[in-house]
Chains A and B, each alone.
Chain A
Amino acid sequence: MRLQINHQKLKGQMADEPIIEVKDLVAGYEDTVILQDINFEVRRGEVFAVLGGSGSGKTTLLKNMIGLQKPLRGVILIDGTDVVAAEGEERLRVLKKIGVAYQSGALFGSMSVLTNVALPLEEFTDLPRRAIDMIAQMKLKAVGLQGAAYKMPSELSGGMRKRAAIARALAMDPKILFLDEPSAGLDPITSAQLDELILQLSRDLQITFVIVTHELPSILTVADRVIMVDKDARTVIATGTPQELRDQSANPVVRRFFNRQLGRDVRIDNG
């Protein structure tokens, strides 16, 4: 029996509550400030995108949010816990709430796809082997890769590798899934399939997505809200829904970015 749930209603109920809060963030490396005055919040259950050109600091912002890099100043709260200040057990608790799928997939090449997905469960839970295998295969099924469970990462195509990385990120049932450039290097059809997968996981598993990308077609398909960071301004220059940014932004950088990337689409949309 497949149950029909009013996802929009569910999303609406969850959407007001912030799950990530970034306050007065200054990010960079030692003396080099890459981003400053960054303030935004990600609401529970939404698909949130960080948009920007090459070198705009998107990945730096992501690294700060997932605790890989300490901000120069500011606060990042994940589900109420300061990820910057958290240490030891508290930090581990925060990390268990998030999953990250890296641009390259970052699968461990010496392990099968199933072992890659099962790894966090083996390391962080007391579940028996059969349970771990079941959960790992469930996650592979969720991303459409159940048949590739025993393949090695080198045997997967680019799109399959991204899916496997998402399955691994899903292994611990995270509340938030960070995706770094999920469409990079994929053909339009595979990219569209990945977008569909993100929408499906967001709808079915009620996971909050934070997607860092510069691929506008994907953003327009999947994102509920977007912020755009700019290399020259070193801060957030636009916030809103993807459609608002595309159609209503007065910021010349935003307009140039959208027109350049979506030139053909904009003309079609505008009739």
Chain B
Amino acid sequence: MEDTDKAAFDFRPGDHGQARLILKGRLDRDTTASIWRDSTQVVRQARIPRLVVQAGEVVYCDGAGVALLAEYKHIQREHGGQIEIQGLRPQFEQLMAVLEIDHLVAPPKPAGTITSFIRHAGFVLNLGQWTAGFVRSMGTETSFTGEVFAKLLKALTHPRGLRWKETLIIAEKAGANAVAITGLLGFLIGTILAFQTVAAMRQFGAEVFVADLVVIVLFRELGPLITAVLLTSRTGSAFAAELGTMKVNEEIDALTTMGLDPVQFLVLPRIIAVIGVIPLLTMFNMLMGLVGCGLVMVSWDIPGAIFMDRIRYAATLTDLFGGLAKTFVFGALVAGIGCLRGLQTGVGPTAVGDSTTRAVVSGLIAIIVADGVFAVVYYFLGI
């Protein structure tokens, strides 16, 4: 018997509606691919009433070989033909008996008639689903906000119930560990703002007012906003991932069954920590922004004393505290949304990633919306 490392076939049509298909060599996962297409095509096109597969020269056969033989059977069955497999070694016949399947199980059909109609509705369906999801989500968020607010008030009136050690550790991670990146961002924003405006304003001899512009923009808008955006991407996502992983690992369930409230135990320390550190980070961000602005102005031959004088004149406590007041709301939003998304984590390996993404996206949207609300309120209050 010829022993070969390859698979080969020979199709021989005969008389009386019969044909022979001679298989040789190894029929394994590597070699079967080389004859699969051609041999099945020949058998399919021939539409032979009776096919005899001579497998006596098959020296090895694994799952792939069994699949090929099964495929010949399927093809013959499709057009009502017969098939006989001759000479297959007993161990391969046994393998075939174990593995062979009657038919391929088809993937489940995703749609029935009504579902199919709805699927074709496309835009309307999407809009409806989005609206329903939005309403559900608003309901959940409102309920969560109420719960957090009530428990926050309780925690502040009964501070011994709060996990202060945990809160300080979170504050260190969210605050102290973010000082460098916050400062760098502030410095770069201040530098870029000053650099972009100083050249234009020099044409009107107004370059000294760059300091006024930068200080007002930083104190009222960019300082709080940039810091909040940074915290959303850095801390909000981390909260979502931490709590999401705890949810997947059933740690949240364990807390609940121990009688511990996950909001009290996990969410409040995070919210308090972020609310505590965000004004400090914002002030540092503003300070570094002014340093960047100062460097640009000095490099444009504007004396440092004049720069300092303009800052003293332009920066009011109203601007500073108006900006800092926003940060408390931004901090609560960043931490609250991060925790909520973490607690909403579903099942499966992508769940934590999805929660993190949702935490960042909804955190950013919430911050921008809140900033817009502040702008309107400050306008009417004359701040």
Contact = CB atoms under 8 A, between A and B. Distances in A.
Interface in A210-244: none
B52 to A, nearest CB: 16
A133 B63 CA distance: 11
A124 B33 CA distance: 11
Interface string A105-135: 0001110000000000100111110110111
Contact of B347 (A1, A124, A137, A154): A154
B33 A138 contact: no
A131 B101 contact: no
A149 B68 contact: no
Contact of B67 (A124, A131, A200, A205): A131
Contact of B63 (A124, A138, A152): A138
A104 B331 CA distance: 40
B33 A142 contact: no
Contacts of B90: 3, 5
Interface stretch (B91-99, B124-132, B294-302): B91-99
Interface in B52-81: 62-64, 66-68, 70-71
A137 B63 CA distance: 10
A138 B68 CA distance: 12
Contact of A134 (B33, B70, B94): B70
A120 to B, nearest CB: 9
B71 A130 contact: yes
Contacts of A142: 98-99
Interface string B17-35: 0000000000011101110
Contacts of B382: none
B91 A110 contact: no
7 contacts: A5-B91, A126-B33, A126-B34, A131-B71, A134-B104, A150-B107, A205-B98
**6 A-B pairs with least C-beta separation:** A173-B62, A126-B33, A138-B99, A109-B349, A134-B67, A204-B98
Interface of A: 1-3, 5, 10, 108-110, 121, 124-128, 130-131, 133-135, 137-139, 141-142, 146-147, 149-150, 152, 154, 170-173, 200, 204-206
Nearest to B97: A2
Q: Bin chain B's interface residue count.
A: 20 to 34
Contacts of A2: 97
Nearest to B67: A134
Contacts of A10: 91
B30 A125 contact: yes
Contacts of A139: 63, 99
B33 A131 contact: yes
Contacts of A150: 105, 107-108
The winner among A2, A126, A139 for most chain B CB atoms within 10 A is A126
Given A127-B64, A149-B105, 5 more contacts: A2-B97, A3-B93, A125-B29, A131-B71, A150-B107
Nearest to B68: A131
B45 interface: no
Contacts of B328: none
Contacts, number: 95
Given A5-B94, A134-B67, A142-B99, A147 B105 contact: yes
B70 A137 contact: no
A200 B97 CA distance: 12
A125 B32 CA distance: 9
Contacts of A205: 95, 98
B273 to A, nearest CB: 32
Consensus secondary structure, chain B interface: helix
Contacts of A1: 93, 97
A110 B107 CA distance: 16
B9 to A, nearest CB: 15
A121 B62 CA distance: 13
Nearest to B32: A127
Nearest to A141: B101
A141 B99 contact: yes
Given A110-B349, A138-B99, A154-B347, A128 B91 contact: no
B107 A138 contact: no
B350 interface: yes
A127 B94 CA distance: 23
A2 B98 CA distance: 9
B104 to A, nearest CB: 6
B67 A135 contact: yes
A127 B40 CA distance: 13
B36 A172 contact: no
B348 interface: yes
Contacts of B37: 128
A205 B108 CA distance: 30
A152 B350 CA distance: 13
A138 B94 contact: no
B349 A134 contact: no
Contacts of B67: 131, 134-135, 138
A173 B64 contact: yes
Nearest to A151: B108
A90 to B, nearest CB: 16
B104 A137 contact: yes
B242 interface: no
Nearest to B106: A150
Contacts of B71: 130-131, 134
B141 interface: no
A173 B100 contact: no
